[in-house]
Amino acid sequence: MAGKNTGRPPFWFMRQAGRVLPSYRLLKEKHSLWEMMSTPETGASVTLLPVDDLGVDAAILFSDILMVPYAMGMGFEFTENGPVFSSPLAGSTDPLARLNPDPSKLGFVYNIIDKVMAAKPESIPLIGFCGAPLTVMCYMIQGLGKKADFPEAVKFMYENRSLTLKIIESVTEVSIEYVKGQIKHGIDVFQLFDTHSGLLPVDLYNELFIPSIKKIGRVVRESNIPFIYFPKGLGVGIETVTPDMCDYLSIDWHIPIKKARKMVHPEIGLQGNLDPRLLYSSKEEIEVQLEKYIYFGKSNRNWIFNLGHGFIKDTPFENAKFMADWVREADWNR
Ligand code: CP3
């Protein structure tokens, strides 16, 4: 993927291996999400579904960012309304004592990676991932994201600064073991998802969380694996991201991509950033918006086409397919 001139930008989509695909919906009738994420054969075949169904240039491991809290002894269930933790840390008198990190519990994920590596076409890189500490901790502290802005999790972080730092350290340690495990089993690229990075003021985010992002990124890049960092909602904070932190910065849908290119350090490649909700509109309107990327793509080679956040569950598949075909077949003038 990196730096190869194929005449067009490479592309894949966040949440591509999920509910947008009719083939996935069929499997989901027979298996629970947890079953699919823990059975090597099913996990590997779901990982590769979008390669066949959408023709994307990369596969992303079918798993979830909540595997790290699971390995830290936190029980949860995936429900229709999203993940629900049985006892979130905010309700505990001694949250640290509740945690029992055991990275060996992540072995089942590596079995899926082994299967994908054996089955995937050589030209398709496998993207491994985990959640960044802030995002993972929002779920650990508050449980289900009852409100998208996680008020209880943010309150906890302000009320319990030193405890928050200890939890960050512990989540970072497990995440690093997890990254190392994924690399050992052959992933080609790594993406760090910080879906909730916009919850805090940029200065506080940088002070509390950037040291961990750097530690995780270093482990990835020391293995010569490209590191993509997705700090959703970070806003002007993307100006503070430095090339020692990541190879690619994934831009959310809020910032025009041209503007992002001016804001982000020129040595950092970009990924993104079509609004996934655009896919609810007509093909004509989708095409109008896609065409706006042609000019950007002509002058910016260090760019991976993607969405500005993951596919939403009721996205019409035919519009997702229309977008994928369009990106593959458009004349990119290069
Ligand atoms: O991108 C992919 O296709 C790979 C698989 C993947 C999943 N989750 C599978 C999944 C990835 C990369 C994730 C990351 C993830 N999980 C994030 C970060 C990225 C983002 O989209 O913000 C977050 C915040 C989570 C936590 C999570 N998992 C939530 C909030 C939910 C429920 C909401 C929803 O979108 O359904 C999940 C469940 C989940 N994880 C599903 C899938 C395919 C949906 C389950 C289903 O099919 O019923």
For residue 5, what pLDDT is reported?
61
> Concatenated DSSP letters for 197-214?
GGGS-HHHHHHHHHHHHH
For residue 324, give both structure tokens: 């994928």
CA distance 261 to 150: 30
Neighbours of 138 (CB within 10 A): 23
Q: Give the pLDDT confidence of 34-72 residue by residue, as tens digits.
A: 999 999 999 999 999 999 999 999 999 999 999 999 999
**125 backbone dihedrals φ, ψ, rounded to 5°:** -70, 150
- Cite the DSSP H helix spans in 236-313: 257-263, 283-299
Containing 122, the helix (H) or strand (E) segment is none
Q: Using H for helix, E for strand and C for coil, what is the string for 33-80?
A: HHHHHHCHHHHHHHHHHHHHHCCCCCEECCCCCCHHHHHCCCCEEEEC
Beta pairing partners, 37: none
Q: Which regions of the chain are under pLDDT 50?
A: 1
Ligand 1 site, CB within 6 A: 14-19, 28, 33, 60, 62-66, 78, 82-83, 129, 131, 135, 193, 195, 310, 313
Which DSSP state fits 11? B
CATH 3.20.20.210 fits 22-329, yes or no: yes
CA-nearest residue, atom 11 of ligand 1: 64
For residue 159, what pLDDT is reported?
97
For residue 132, what pLDDT is reported?
98
Beta pairing partners, 129: 191
For residue 17, what pLDDT is reported?
92
For residue 149, what pLDDT is reported?
87
For residue 122, what pLDDT is reported?
97
Site to probe by mutation for ligand 1, drawn from 21, 38, 64 as the one with most ligand atoms within 8 Å of Cβ, is 64
CA-nearest residue, atom 41 of ligand 1: 18
CA distance 290 to 305: 10
**Rounded to two decimals, what is the model's pTM?**
0.96
Residues in the chain: 334
For residue 147, what pLDDT is reported?
67
For residue 148, what pLDDT is reported?
74
